[in-house]
Structure 1
Amino acid sequence: MMQIVARPLTAQAFAPYGDVIEVAGQPDKIINQGQCGRFHDRAQMDFVDGRAGISLFNANPRAFPYVLDMVERHPEGSQAFIPMTHQPFLVVVAPNANGMPCQPVAFLTSPGQVVNYHRGTWHGVLTPLHGPGLFAVVDRIGAGANLEEHWFDTPYEIVAR
């Protein structure tokens, strides 16, 4: 089994796969009578058809080493995962080559980070590392198939740094 080391999530390293949404730098606006910094329009939501919807996910926590045997993608829309707790989670993505995922890459979020997968990005399933695994998910709601799965012939083992 090939081993992948999860590295810290940064906007630059994750850019080919999607957006890292976080409070960083100075706010774009100060609102609410000067009591709130607004970090405006931090992700590119992209839907072919349908509309944006907000769903709640309650995923079971996982642990390292984590065995990755499958990735999925959503060809009809982007997908943002917003943790509802202040705990890190594992993010796995894979480059696309002729419709197939290549060597996966693993990231470990810092508390407060959100990911938005670009439309069509191969990614692992939701992988919280602590309970409760509560997430708000913004993704495409609409008719038609919007899920493709790829099962690896040989699974990968993901470990923490």
Structure 2
Amino acid sequence: MSPLLPSADVDLSKAWIQGCLDRDNCWNFVIELLPSSLSTTKTAPRVIGLVGAVRAPEIGYMFNIDYWGKGYATEALRAFMPLFFDHYSGGVNQRYEFAEAHTDPELLASHNVLEKAGFKLHERREKDFDNPVLGLRDTLVYRLYRPDAESGAREAGA
């Protein structure tokens, strides 16, 4: 759930990122674009975004705008979700039966990414998010259940 418009306040953005990193339930990965084997020029891997648990069980992703619409977010989220459920399976870390993503109703591309990765719309919360750029906004909550929890719920008739 990030602004539809970029923030011009670098210090505020740095503080927000640091606040996320300082949480115990934050577990994120950078996403690197590796050089293509078809490329004739040698280039180093490039960080193009991140994916992770921003406040587990809440997950999220952010990408450089130059890499939107190319399938990288879907690929990263599909790869991350099995890691999420393994990492948050009890023991050292809390066990979560689902992951959820919060998004603005206008972020249609993000809804598509979530749905392609198996998430389903769970609920709409009205005017519950104070976006620093756009003001009070609704939130769409998408959920993806742990594969073994989902089959258990079906067997129990849920």
TM-score by length of 1: 0.23
Higher relative contact order structure (alpha carbons within 8 Å, sequence separation ≥ 6): 1
TM-score by length of 2: 0.23
Give the strand-richer structure, 1 or 2.
1
Give the helix-richer structure, 1 or 2.
2
